[in-house]
Structure 1
C-alpha cells in the first residue's frame, strides 16, 4: 500500500507542515530546548505561559520521534489530496486546537498539588498525527494480508506500528497527547455541528496560495472547494486519460465501488478507476487521487 503519487504533488499543506516541524525541531533541538517546550499545568495555568500552546505542537523532542512523526504526516498526505487543501488545512487547525485543549484539561485533572513540577506532555504535532489515524482506519481499505511467524498482518500494519512507537515513546507524556488527537479525529469524523462542511473563504485561500506559492510549490492548484465546474473538468480529464485502458477480467465488486464512493469519489469515476486497475482498490484509489 502507498499514499498515492510520490512527493508533495497536490499536498502543499502537508509540505508546509513537514518543512516547519522539521526545521523547528532541528533548530530547537540543537539548542537542547525541545523538552523545554513541553506542556505542564504549572507552566500553562499557573505561570500563564500561553505561548507554549502555539510552539509545543510544532517541535519534536527527539530524533526518533521526528523521523516517525514526519513519516506519518507525509504518508497521510493522501487525505489532503482526497478532500482538498482548503478543507485539510481546516482539519489541521481543528484537530490541533481540540487536542491541545483536551491536553490542558487532562493536565488539570492529573495535577499533583504536592509536586513542584507535575506531569509534562511531550511536544510535537501529536494531535494532528493521531487525528489522522481515524480516517486512516475507517476510509483506507486493506489491499493485502500476510503472515509473519504465524502472526497476521496487513499492508496498514506498518503505519499502525509507527503510530504505536510514537504513542508509547514517552509513556504518559506521549500517550495523553495521542489519545487527545484520536478524540479530535473522532469528533471530526462524526461531523459534530457539521464541521466537515467548514472551509476557509475562497478569497482568503487564494490569497494564501499566491503568497506562499514560491515556497510551497507542489504542482497543485490553489486550495479551492471541490465541486462545480472544476469537478466536472476533473471528471472529463479522468475519463479521457483512462478511456483507452483495458477492461478488468470481471466486473468491479460492489463493495470496492462503495468504499471509493464513501471516500468522496463519483460512482462512475470509481467504476472506471477499478476497471483500469483491474479491481485493485489501492491502485484505483491512487488513480482517482491523481486525477483530482
Structure 2
C-alpha cells in the first residue's frame, strides 16, 4: 500500500531542525517489448557500459551484477529538459543565450541555448562569457549575484536558477582566487538493470555498397570538406591529403569484433 505524503510534511522535513533524511521512491520498470526484452544502456567512451555490483536486499547472500542504464547526471539532464519544455506553463525563469548574430556557425548547431541546457547550470562558461545589452554579463549586478551565490546565499539562484539548487552546481570556471562554491544535488535518480543475461554481445553487420566499390582505391580529399575530392593523387584539392575511398563513405565496411557496437541487454529486473 502506497503512503501519502502531504505538503505540510515536506515543509516540516525541510526545516533546519528536522530529522528527516529525505524521500525515497522506488519503482520497477518494464521494457516496451515486455519483461526480459533487451534495452540499450548508455555506452561511454571506449565502448563500455557503466557496470556495478550491488545488494538488492539486506537479506541477500550475494551481491548482484548490474548495469547502470541511465546514471545520475543523465537523469538530471532529462529532468532539466522536461522543465525547459514546461517552463512557460509553470512559470520558471530562463536565460536564453542568442547565437543568431554569429553568421559563421555550422548549420547543425543551435542558434539559441536555454539556461536549462547549460552543462554547469549557473556556473557555466557559456553564461560567464555571455553579454547582456553589450555588457559582459559577469560584470552586471545580476551576473555578480549569480556567480557569487552559495548554498547559504542563494536568493539569486532561487529567482533565476532554481534547477541549480535541485541538481547541484560547482562554481569552477572563475579561477582559483574567485568563488569556487559548491552545492550538492538534492535530487538523485538512476535507472538500474539487474542481473544482465550477458554484456558481451556485439551488433555485427556490414555497411553495404550497391556498386561494391574497392575501398582501397587511393583518393585525394580535404578532411575538413569531403565535398571536394578526386580519385588518385591530385594537386587540385586545396588542403588535399591522400586517403582511401572507404574514408569517403564508399565501399563495404564490415562491423566485427571490437569495432561492432555493444548490443542491447536483457535484464531480470529494471528499477528506478
Tell whether the structures are fold-level matches, with TM greater than 0.5: no
What TM-score, normalized by structure 2, do the two folds share? 0.27
Instruction: Answer 1 or 2: which has greater strand percent.
Output: 2
Question: Which structure ranks higher in relative contact order (CA pairs < 8 Å, sequence separation ≥ 6)?
Answer: 1
What TM-score, normalized by structure 1, do the two folds share? 0.26
Instruction: Answer 1 or 2: which has greater helix percent.
Output: 1
